[in-house]
Chains A and B, each alone.
Chain A
């Protein structure tokens, strides 16, 4: 019996023991996790079976066909995409056992306390301090651009534990309890009018040393796992034709002959082709991953989608002419989900401006491609041997 057959058998067993129609959503998700069918590439006992990641589709197809509930992955994207792989790689057995199950079922939402007002692209320069006091760490500082902080139970946090060594070496990685009285979450209103992100103020937050991930001072290396997974999560989607930002504008074009001009047509077709080719590149990347030959192509996907989303939504606002002068709603809202293609063209235009900033600016990503993929010389580094406390700020 192949692994795929075995997975199909186990999935049907799960469905038989917990028929989705008669089972509470959460009970089903917990049972699925315990059966090792949550993420098959995770180890046994932690929601997986130690199988290749590519076999997950076998389980998902069976479950979808049976109408089983999913764990609403868009709502818990940071937990699934960033916290989980980091906990798996660096966590203790107790941490893995405590955190992964409710993370996967969505019972506990996670957020990411990385960026700071003074540490954006230069994240390693971060200044939030964690000072050891007995069995605890006492954390003080400010984080920013934190999605889901207002609904999160836990956060992955990086903080400075040693200011006297160069910046990359004095960072430690923690799991922060968002219900700690020292954690204050304030909405950060953005140009779309809504507050999808937050500022998080940390005042004497106490974190037990048992919630440290990885060694003291090794937080930068641990964070690389998180950040690499973030870019995969942002760039590596499989889409049908017209599945992305090009879909709504193509739809408008078909429905509204009155809006068409020759100039817009030229630009639309150019972008349509680019969107289709970017989609094919994503498809090719997925095929490479499934075939077990991951290429460096993933590094470029986020760059491509950021630019395309911006240009396509910009074209759409212009295409709509008189309606392009309007905006659907400036009310300050607190969305739980990020939906780049949701709402009207004006929202899409404004929201997509963030696509070339969040998860690494396009400028930094171009450096990464140039250095890691093409092997070109790294940027001159004047901060390499300077203690963090002596850096210019």
Chain B
């Protein structure tokens, strides 16, 4: 059975990441940044990736990384989710990195991504579930033509991994393509349209297995980010309702509210077990498909509900732009589509565990 706990080292890593995010990604600065032309916090990214060496967690030391596992990356993502930190960790250090790990000719960009000095993005729409169809561009000799939309964090990517219609995955540097930001529901993980007009690309491997592997890791570790979002929502709401008074009592003392929060706590506890199981399964390679689909089928509704409950229970103040809850609601809702909806994962699971549709 998989190890569902956190090791001492993992807890130390969490504390370090949380410290860093307290300095870099407080609510006011995240919100101010989200409204600017540069929503990503590249200073925080540099501190995480370059300073702490977290961009290379999934990459073996022999290939230029830290030789850690998905378990540690999951802890980082819990903290990033809690802070809704606008850094391309999931997209570059997990998804793009996993794609390159599957590519024999991906060594160059892989080591660059692992060092954190180069940001990568897999040019597959964020909504795509592992194993689902995805858009490709036309490969014409060495030149790529086409347009891909919904590419998360493409605005800050230095290298894009582009699937083409010849079955290849191509590394394309950002200055060879046009990246146009799309107005996104999630202000802290913005999407962009990537236009390729005879862009030169270097084929690094086959797209299909690389994309599948990348999206599976993305889906599995997204559950840890969702756990972070949900935990923030629960903790902040409990804190607020102990303090907020109406009818001459703390609002958190009304039984209707207590029961809702207790229920939410229960779901967050469940989500933690599911997210740890997925991270551990990705690390060990045992029971990975089932663990990842279970985690994703469970995580999205919990994170969304936690954020929605946080808003409702904060009431008026939670509806304001200045209050941080909306950043979590937007992240949670976008995450519920990212790397496949809960429904898509349940469908996949039905096949995996032999509970077939009629």
**Chain A residues close to B by CB (< 8 Å):** 250, 253-254, 257, 260-262, 265-266, 268-270, 272-274, 276-278, 280-281, 283-284, 287-288, 291, 293, 297, 300, 303-304, 363, 366-367, 369-371, 373-380
Contacts and interface: CB of A to CB of B under 8 A. Distances in A.
B354 A269 contact: no
Contact of B1 (A273, A283, A369, A377): A283
Given A262-B357, A287-B5, 10 more contacts: A265-B357, A269-B350, A274-B298, A278-B270, A283-B273, A366-B263, A369-B265, A374-B262, A374-B265, A375-B238
Given A273-B294, A280-B4, A283-B273, A377 B252 contact: yes
A260 B4 CA distance: 34
Given A278-B270, A288-B5, A377-B252, A272 B358 contact: no
Contact of A270 (B258, B277, B346, B357): B346
Contacts of A303: 266
B263 A268 contact: no
Interface of B: 1, 3-5, 238, 241-242, 249-250, 252-253, 255, 257-259, 261-263, 265-266, 269-274, 276-277, 294, 297-298, 346-347, 349-350, 353-358
B277 A280 contact: yes
B170 to A, nearest CB: 36
A376 B265 CA distance: 12
A280 B291 CA distance: 10
Contacts of B357: 260, 262, 265
Contacts of B274: 277, 280
9 contacts: A269-B346, A273-B297, A277-B274, A280-B277, A281-B269, A284-B4, A374-B261, A375-B238, A379-B255
Given A269-B350, A276-B294, A284-B272, A366 B5 contact: no
A295 to B, nearest CB: 8
A260 B265 contact: no
A370 B259 contact: yes
Give the 6 A-B CB pairs with smallest separation, nearest first. Answer: A377-B253, A370-B258, A260-B358, A369-B262, A280-B273, A284-B4
Contacts of A268: 355
A300 B355 contact: no
Contacts of B297: 269-270, 273
B349 A273 contact: yes
A284 B262 contact: no
A276 B276 CA distance: 13
A367 B255 CA distance: 7
Nearest to A367: B258
Given A250-B355, A253-B355, A260-B357, A366 B270 contact: no
A243 B207 CA distance: 39
A376 B358 contact: no
Contact of B249 (A266, A288, A371, A377): A377
Contacts of B350: 265, 269
A370 B4 contact: no
A269 B262 contact: no
Contacts of B270: 274, 277-278, 280-281, 304
B241 A300 contact: no
Nearest to B295: A277
B287 to A, nearest CB: 9
A283 B2 CA distance: 9
A375 to B, nearest CB: 7
A284 B273 contact: yes
Contacts of A287: 3-5
Q: Which of A291, A293, A374 has the most CB of B within 10 A?
A: A374
B262 A277 contact: no
Q: Which of B258, B269, B276 has the most CB of A within 10 A?
A: B269
Contacts of A377: 242, 249-250, 252-253
B298 A273 contact: yes
A367 B263 CA distance: 10
A261 B357 CA distance: 8
Nearest to A261: B358
Q: Which of B3, B5, B349, B354 has the most CB of A within 10 A?
A: B5
Nearest to B278: A280
